[in-house]
Amino acid sequence: MNCKSFPLAMASEGETVKVIAVTAGKFLVKRLIAMGIIEQTELQILQREQGNGLVVTRGETRLALGFGMANKIMVVPNGN
């Protein structure tokens, strides 16, 4: 993993990030793949709910993720 990577749960509202790894078990990985969250996917953080989770966009799709799930998705800031 890149030394600049951090869990998605730590991303700021409005920030755009790129997924570089998922540090989860096979069932969560399958669930994330079904949601379209795979390596090199760009996500934008729309909303952070203190202690509850966050809402992200992937293209035109909005996804709600709990902090437990978001902590297992490693991202880097998108350099666009």
Q: Note the pLDDT tens digit of each residue in 4-63.
A: 899 999 999 999 999 999 998 999 999 999 999 999 999 999 998 877 889 999 999 999
Q: Note the pLDDT tens digit of each residue in 63-77.
A: 999 999 999 999 999
Domain ranges of the chain: 6-77
Tell me how far CA of residue 16 lies from CA of 25, 30, 34, 62, 63, in angstroms. 25, 23, 21, 14, 14
Q: What is the pTM of this model?
A: 0.88
CA–CA–CA angle 80, 39, 17 (5° rounding): 35
Q: How many Å apart are CA 26 and CA 42, to the nearest integer? A: 22
Superfamily designation of domain 6-77: Ferrous iron transport protein A (FeoA) (2.30.30.90)
Q: Note the pLDDT tens digit of each residue in 40-52.
A: 999 999 998 877 8
